[in-house]
Amino acid sequence: MRIKCRKSTLSSGLAIVSKAVSTKTTSPILECVLLQATGGQVTLTANNLELGIETVIEATVLEEGKVALEAKLFTDIIRSLPDSEVDMETTSDIRVDIHCEKARFTIPCRNGDEFSLLPNIEKEKSIQISQLALRDVIRQTIFSISDNENARMMTGVSLEVMDNRLIVITLDGHRISRRKIDLRGDNPDVSVVVPGKTMQELSKIINGGNDDLVDIYFTDQHLQFEYDQTRVVSRLLEGEYFKIASMMSIGHSMKVKANKKELMAIIDRARLLIQETDKKPIIVSVKNDGNLYVRLDTNLGSMNEEMEIEKEGDEIIIGMNPKFLGDALRVIDDDEVEFYMSDSKNPLIIKNEKEDYVYIILPISINTDIYR
Amino acid sequence: MRIKCRKSTLSSGLAIVSKAVSTKTTSPILECVLLQATGGQVTLTANNLELGIETVIEATVLEEGKVALEAKLFTDIIRSLPDSEVDMETTSDIRVDIHCEKARFTIPCRNGDEFSLLPNIEKEKSIQISQLALRDVIRQTIFSISDNENARMMTGVSLEVMDNRLIVITLDGHRISRRKIDLRGDNPDVSVVVPGKTMQELSKIINGGNDDLVDIYFTDQHLQFEYDQTRVVSRLLEGEYFKIASMMSIGHSMKVKANKKELMAIIDRARLLIQETDKKPIIVSVKNDGNLYVRLDTNLGSMNEEMEIEKEGDEIIIGMNPKFLGDALRVIDDDEVEFYMSDSKNPLIIKNEKEDYVYIILPISINTDIYR
């Protein structure tokens, strides 16, 4: 194999595929990136068997071939080169020469045939969405997946297409996040659960705007994201996702409208008094005087603060994990947020009227009598 | 004690003194910051018994007094408050109320009498230097102190005033860094060794420019830096510093003039092939063809690169730790650097003609025959 290409082109391509390189593995080939030079182009591929990424870069192919290179070292070397033309050539079965201006590197390589290529994905069912919207929806839901591998379905992100809307759901047993996005045109109904890691890595490499589109293809076992010269293939999590319909239709006896920034600042202040191992809730109470009160007592100290809100319905006292409340508020782009509650035992729900977003947070049980 | 002051004023003051707060200690008082309210001002102090910092902030003192507060929590709380007036009051011997707009915190405190105040420093011997120059000279020397506590003098920075110049030296047994700064006026001759940690923390809080001055006071046991409303007091390291005069006067049989940026890029590339535990040197050779060659072979691969240089004297081959070479080049602000060498067994010296800076690096022994 011998190719020539711009350093910047190669470097950008490597930055994309490196998101699918295994870091902790006993199989060295999973730490590699594959270069395939055919026709007038070079395809870069990384594949950790759960997530695989392939991107095609512009290059001059002087000799066709393929070779696998240790991804981190290769990426670091290319990044370090001057912004000029890179000339790469396999000099034997186990060595590659990299040449750029006066710099010459020789590094070991592996036979490209050892490498597991990405599966071909059937393109029967697909939707199209803007890169910006996809990136946003990942950011707005990913924080409430679980990292407990024993609850494997909770480590995933549920993607459902229904009535020409994409519904994204994550949950971790204490809270549920749901976002809806309207899709253009006619879309097939599908329902899959994608590993959270896939969505996290995807959101790092999809950096287009509102007019840049990404195609998503669904099969029984895989999901493929395709945009520009890149395709990202992920295995799906097998199994049934959680039924959340009953949670979504929980009634409420009161509603609060609050300034988001002000409330977030109060919650962030309260969190200063909570140590990592501490599970102390903040006590949120909404009173007929038109104020929302937050207070907290921990080993570190105590705090209380109030803010004006708009309220409909009864007074309430509820115990909340301030991190969960903060996580949800942080990803809501509205200036004003609306909360729905009924009592200290039932969930707090943050949603907008159109229900583009719904965040449900279970309360922490408290003795409400002592806080009245 | 009761004081009122701007949140931003208090926060800036805490950011300064917190550099002298102990983080790993079994003595809780060392993790505290002391607030002393007297007359019309509040003094903040932190003191880890090696390094102490004191800064005076503007405040309204409603009731004089002093109190010690856990520095991290207190700093985090103040930082989290709205940019408004903070009202602080001790409500008992063990509690302080902090109030800002609608936010109220109550945190534990300690009796201010437990706290070790900074010593009063005799102001007999002093020099004055710009904050920018002091910050620069720390950055340009601090990297070559040792972190080996068994070689305690090597963990310090030697400050010497002689003939109205400040000479700053660090060394770690493999390399020596020396910088000289001309001082204005008539200055006393002094020679002290300051803990490296003091200099590191100092460079983080001194952020003035060329026209902002800092006074440095020398005593037998302490050093005091004084600027604006802040004084920084450090213990000195006791003992004799190393005599480096003989190293400074080493002869040379050849001289190389090279573009600094180009050479640094080559060295940074070579370092990619060196793993942490690896002590492989880069092989630097300067030939009569007017080129400097760098090459390296390690388990990860091999590299070689050349660059044009100006040379006076013989050809040379020398083994170098690329990190040491890179560290020195990185802090030299000139575009062109000059190296002086004699053979593969003697140090490489980087210095400018005026000897404002001298960096001496011991070579790594190599078998020069195999590289010819």
Task: Supply the pLDDT for residue B372.
Answer: 66
Least confident range of A43-52, A241-250, B280-289, B322-331: A241-250
* Residue numbers of B between 66 and 125 with CB closer than 8 Å to A: 73, 76-77, 80-82, 102-108
Q: CA of A8 to nearest chain B CA: how many angstroms apart?
A: 16
How is the beta sheet containing B65-70 ordered, strand by strand?
B110-111, B65-70, B32-38, B41-47, B51-58, B230-235, B222-227, B213-218, B125-130
Side by side, the strands of the sheet bearing B103-108 are A316-320, A282-286, A291-298, A301-308, B103-108, B95-100, B85-92, B2-6, B60-63
Contacts of A348 (CB under 8 A, 6+ apart): A318, A320, A325, A339, A340, A341, A360, A361, A363
Query: Could you say which of A76, A265, A272 has the minimum Cβ distance to residue B76?
Result: A272
List the single residue in A80, A107, A305 with the smallest CB-CB distance to B103: A305
In the prediction, which pLDDT does A24 show?
82
Alpha helices in A148-227 (DSSP H): 196-205
Mean pLDDT, to the nearest integer, of A152-170? 97
Of B80, B273, B304, the CB nearest to A269: B80
Residue B300 CB neighbours (<10 A): 19
Q: Using the beta-carbon criterion (under 8 Å), do B269 and A102 form an inter-chain contact?
A: no
Interface test with B, best of A86, A303, A308, A309 (most B CBs within 10 A): A303
Contact A305 B77 (CB under 8 A): no
pLDDT band at residue B92 using 50, 70 and 90 as cut-offs: confident
pLDDT value at position A303?
97
Q: Residue B300's closest chain A neighbor by CA?
A: A107
pLDDT at residue number B350:
98
Quick one: tokens of A334? 């509205």
Nearest chain B residue (CA) to A305 = B103
* Phi-psi sector, B295: left (phi>0), alpha (psi -120 to 50), beta: beta
What percent of chain A lies above the pLDDT cut of 70?
100
Q: Convert the pLDDT of each residue in B109-147 to its tens digit.
A: 999 999 999 999 999 999 999 999 999 999 999 999 999
- The shortest C-alpha distance from A87 to chain B (Å) reads 14
- Residues of chain B positioned with their CB less than 8 A from the CB of A268: 80
Residue A372 has pLDDT above 70, yes or no: no
Residue type present at position B187: N
Across A238-250, average pLDDT: 91
CB contact under 8 A, A73 and B303: no
Q: Which of A83, A102, A104 to mutate to test the interface with B (most CBs of B within 10 A)?
A: A102
Q: What does the alpha-carbon distance between residue A302 and residue A322 come to, in Å, rounded to a whole number?
A: 14
Q: Do A300 and B73 touch (CB under 8 A)?
A: yes
Q: B299 to chain A: which residues are within 8 Å by CB?
A: none
Q: What is the C-alpha separation between B314 and B320, in angstroms, rounded? A: 18
Cβ of A106 within 8 Å of Cβ of B77? The answer is no
According to DSSP, the residues that pair with B105 across neighbouring strands are A303, B98
pTM listed for this prediction = 0.92
B80 → closest Cβ in A82, A102, A268: A268
Of B103, B265, B300, the CB nearest to A73: B300
Lowest mean pLDDT among A236-245, B317-326, B362-371: B362-371
Report yes or no: A250 at the B interface, CB cutoff 8 Å: no
Q: Sort out which chain A residues have CB atoms less than 8 A from B300's CB and list them.
A: 73, 107
What's the pLDDT tens digit per position in B193-245? 999 999 999 999 999 999 999 999 999 999 999 999 999 999 999 999 999 99
The distance of A245 to chain B (nearest Cα, Å) reads 38
Are A305 and B102 inside 8 Å of each other by CB?
yes
> In angstroms, what separates the C-alpha of B45 from chain A's closest C-alpha?
21
Per-residue pLDDT band at B25 (split at 50, 70, 90) = confident
Cβ–Cβ contact B44 with A under 8 A: no
Cβ neighbours of B305 in A, within 8 Å? 102-104
Q: Is A265 on the interface with B (CB under 8 A)?
A: yes
For range B300-310, the mean pLDDT: 97
Give mean pLDDT, residues A25-31.
89
